[in-house]
Amino acid sequence: MRVDAVRGRRVLVGDAFVPATVVVQRGRIAAVEAYEHEAEGVVVQAADTAYVVPGVVDTHVHVNEPGRTEWEGFASATRAAALGGATTLVDMPLNSLPPTTTVEHLRVKRAVARDQLMVDVGFWGGAVPGNVGDLEPLWDAGVLGFKCFLAPSGVDEFPPLDPAQFLLALREVARFDGLMIVHAEDAGVLAAAPQEAGGSYRAFVRSRPHEAETAAIRQVIDGARETGARVHVLHLSSARALGMIADARAEGLRLTVETCPHYLVFDAERVPHGAAQFKCCPPIRDAGNREELWAALRAGIIDCVVSDHSPATAEEKGRGDGDLQQAWGGVSGLQVGLAVMAAEARRRGIGLAEVSRWMSRHTADLVGFGHKGRIAVGADADLAVYDTGVDFRVEAAQLAHRNPISAYDGIRYGGRVVRTVVRGNAVDVDRPDHTWGRMLERVR
């Protein structure tokens, strides 16, 4: 359904919620008028208990198609995104087969994605040993930046960069002013950590200690200083790195940082024994660490919040029969991220406007999409209606994710997304032919 306007008592314009009517023309926001404005055509009326916010721009999603489509896929991922208020997602270069490490592999992925998208989708490229010569061609082909690992990724086809390879790739990315995004855990620290088999989450955390993150982030900062490259730290879980991040910012280094809802909601002490749905790398840490991450978000040391949706089949999640060292690591949270963050922030006295900045505006800015992540004249008409009057109990089996596994299963939240609009189109997630999404390239 093509929408001509969205009206609500609480519409996020700039940093404040105001009564407004958002007028849409040709997929973009043509005007932000008074609430009483008589708009023509199809008007979406938000309930008095609802908030109209920019659609979430989730820049960290593992779609896994082609090659591991049984883990997720573009159809299921973008349907889940739409149901959760995400209007744009950016696909990681792994765990698909082939990984997005060459222009030809990017073409394969785009061909598979075509005609399956309910929301807009962009693509990260990958930096792996031996593909330095592929980075600029990928950049020219429209990828939004390059992901690399400093420790094993979990899949053989996407190996990590050693320190020399990382510096070489950073120099190349700096040369054409690209962006390097880094899974920052140190291989040496991980290799020296105790690897205790079994289902104890605390033991699993000991196998991925704080020092793995702090050592790797120090390497990223040193590399940014030496090369001048733009760098972004993925899924920060350790608050012990916050001081060096703040110092690097003060120094003027071009460093940005993200964290994820699961690091802001859960704590290691409360994870049940053998519960592989909570396993992720880096791991969920203690409650005190969690609250430090919240404080860093509010202080601007952490820039944004993304899902790091990293799903797998029940077989992969259950590998090792409860042994967390063997189970696939990744939390499935694409569909629930906005509802989870809104509720958890509200408990801490943090408004939805701040949450939207972390999940929409700042993520859009990270990838250069100034036309997304905000309700402003000229921006894409990407909107989510979040209603606090509608109760939401997460049931993993009812989520649109391909596999019914979720760390959020059974949790009840006071509020959920009830309508998503993608470039002026109200998405009907019950129609498989309703594919309004398009593939995005870097804004040149």
Q: In this model, does residue 199 exceed pLDDT 80?
A: yes
Q: What is the pLDDT of residues 248-294, one digit of tens each?
A: 999 999 999 999 999 999 999 999 999 999 999 999 999 999 999 99
pLDDT band at 430 (very low <50, low <70, confident <90, very high): confident
Q: In this model, does residue 204 exceed pLDDT 90?
A: yes
In the block, tokens 């989510």 appear at: 384
Within 10 angstroms of residue 148's Cβ, the number of other Cβ atoms is 27
Q: In this model, does residue 10 exceed pLDDT 80?
A: yes
pLDDT band at 436 (very low <50, low <70, confident <90, very high): confident
Q: What is the pLDDT of residues 213-259, one digit of tens each?
A: 999 999 999 999 999 999 999 999 999 999 999 999 999 999 999 99
Q: In this model, does residue 434 exceed pLDDT 80?
A: no
Q: What is the pLDDT of residues 104-159, one digit of tens each?
A: 999 999 999 999 999 999 999 999 999 999 999 999 999 999 999 999 999 999 99
Q: Are 96 and 63 in contact (CB under 8 A)?
A: yes
Q: In this model, does residue 82 exceed pLDDT 80?
A: yes
What value does the mean pLDDT take over residues 35-45?
A: 96
pLDDT band at 163 (very low <50, low <70, confident <90, very high): very high
Q: What percent of the chain has pLDDT over 70?
A: 100
User: How many alpha carbons lie under 13 Å from residue 120 in its C-beta half-sphere?
Assistant: 27
Count Cβ atoms within 10 A of the Cβ of residue 444 and give its class: 0-12 exposed, 13-18 middle, 19 or more buried: exposed
